[in-house]
C-alpha cells in the first residue's frame, strides 16, 4: 500500500490530493513518536502521518481493518472505501474522478 500512496502523492498532490496517514500502533514500541518518525523517514514518506495512539481517529471512522483507505471529496464526504491491499487501478481511477470534480 505504501508504494502506491507515495506514487499517488507524487502524481496528484499538485492537483489537490491530500494524503494523511493515520498510525494506530499495534505494539507499545510503535507508540513512541521517535520510532514513528524513524519509520516515516525509512519508508521515504513525504505526506503527513498522524500518530493515533489512543485510536480516536480509528474509532471515529469505525475502522476495524488494516489497511483501510478512505477517499474524501471536496465537500468532506467519504466517497470511496477500500479495505486491504489491491485494487490499485480502481482506487487511482476514483482519485482521478474526485480530483476532476468542481470545488464547491
Q: Does the pLDDT at position 103 exceed 90?
A: no
pLDDT in tens, 24-61: 999 999 999 999 999 999 999 999 999 999 999 999 99
Q: Does the pLDDT at position 104 exceed 90?
A: no
Confidence of residue 6 (pLDDT cuts 50, 70, 90): very high
pLDDT in tens, 84-98: 999 999 999 999 999
What predicted TM-score, i.e. pTM, was given to this entire model? 0.91
Q: Are strands 78-83 and 68-72 parallel, antiparallel or unpaired?
A: antiparallel
Please state the three-class secondary structure of the chain as a single string.
CHHHHHHHHHHHHHHCCCCCEEECCCCHHHHCHHHHHHHHHHHCCCCCEEECCCCHHHHHCCCCCCCEEEEECCCCCEEEEEECCCCHHHHHHHHHHHHHCCCC
Amino acid at each position: 500500500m505504501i508504494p502506491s500512496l507515495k506514487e499517488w502523492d507524487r502524481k496528484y498532490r499538485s492537483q489537490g490530493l491530500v494524503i494523511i496517514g493515520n498510525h494506530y500502533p499495534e505494539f507499545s514500541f510503535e507508540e513512541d513518536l521517535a520510532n514513528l518518525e524513524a519509520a516515516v523517514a525509512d519508508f521515504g514518506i513525504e505526506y503527513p502521518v498522524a500518530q493515533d495512539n489512543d485510536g480516536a481517529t480509528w474509532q471515529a471512522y469505525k475502522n476495524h481493518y488494516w489497511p483501510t483507505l478512505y477517499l474524501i471529496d471536496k465537500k468532506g464526504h467519504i466517497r470511496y472505501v477500500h479495505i486491504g491491499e489491491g485494487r490499485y487501478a480502481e482506487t487511482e481511477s476514483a482519485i482521478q474522478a474526485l480530483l476532476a470534480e468542481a470545488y464547491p
